[in-house]
């Protein structure tokens, strides 16, 4: 339903002792509005802006994913196991009128 770039992995380039930001592009190739919510397994490590919203038909948005500073640089062979999940739902004419907070609440159930 959504096209995501990068599609598999976010690459945070150091130094990781500072805020590091990457861009995530989400495209809606459908003719419907879509609501989305982004979750992570490490919510204290990342700030995602915006972490939820609506995407118009045939349009794209840019998401900032910010890694919070680490106390020290990780080892060169460190493999990060943090994950992100993008939940989405097609909006019907009825659900398009629902508040974003209620849509996000429905996505997280």
pLDDT digits 0-9 by tens, 22-54: 999 999 999 999 999 999 999 999 999 999 999
DSSP per-residue string spanning 2-20: -EEESSS-----S-TTS-E
The tally of CA atoms less than 13 A away on the side-chain side of residue 98 is 20
| Architecture of the structural domain at 3-90 | Sandwich (2.60)
Q: In the chain, where are the structural domains located?
A: 3-90
Q: How does pLDDT run across 53-78, given as a tens digit for each residue?
A: 999 999 999 999 999 999 999 998 98
Inform me whether the pLDDT recorded for 109 exceeds 70: no
* Residue whose pair of structure tokens reads 């592009």 in the numeric block: 25
Q: E strands within 1-109?
A: 3-5, 20-28, 34-40, 46-49, 52-55, 59-67, 84-90
List the alpha helices (DSSP H) in the chain.
100-107
What pTM value is reported for the model? 0.86
């Amino acid at each position: 339903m959504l096209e995501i770039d990068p599609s598999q992995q976010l690459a945070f380039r150091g130094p990781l002792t500072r805020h590091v930001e990457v861009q995530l592009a989400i495209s809606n190739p459908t003719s419907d509005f879509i609501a989305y919510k982004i979750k992570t397994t490490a919510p204290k490590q990342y700030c995602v802006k915006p972490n939820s919203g609506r995407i118009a038909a045939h349009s794209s948005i840019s998401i900032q994913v910010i890694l919070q500073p680490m106390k020290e640089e990780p080892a060169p062979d460190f493999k990060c196991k943090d994950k992100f999940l993008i939940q989405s739902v097609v909006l019907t004419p009825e659900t398009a009128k629902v508040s974003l907070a209620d849509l996000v609440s429905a996505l997280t159930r």
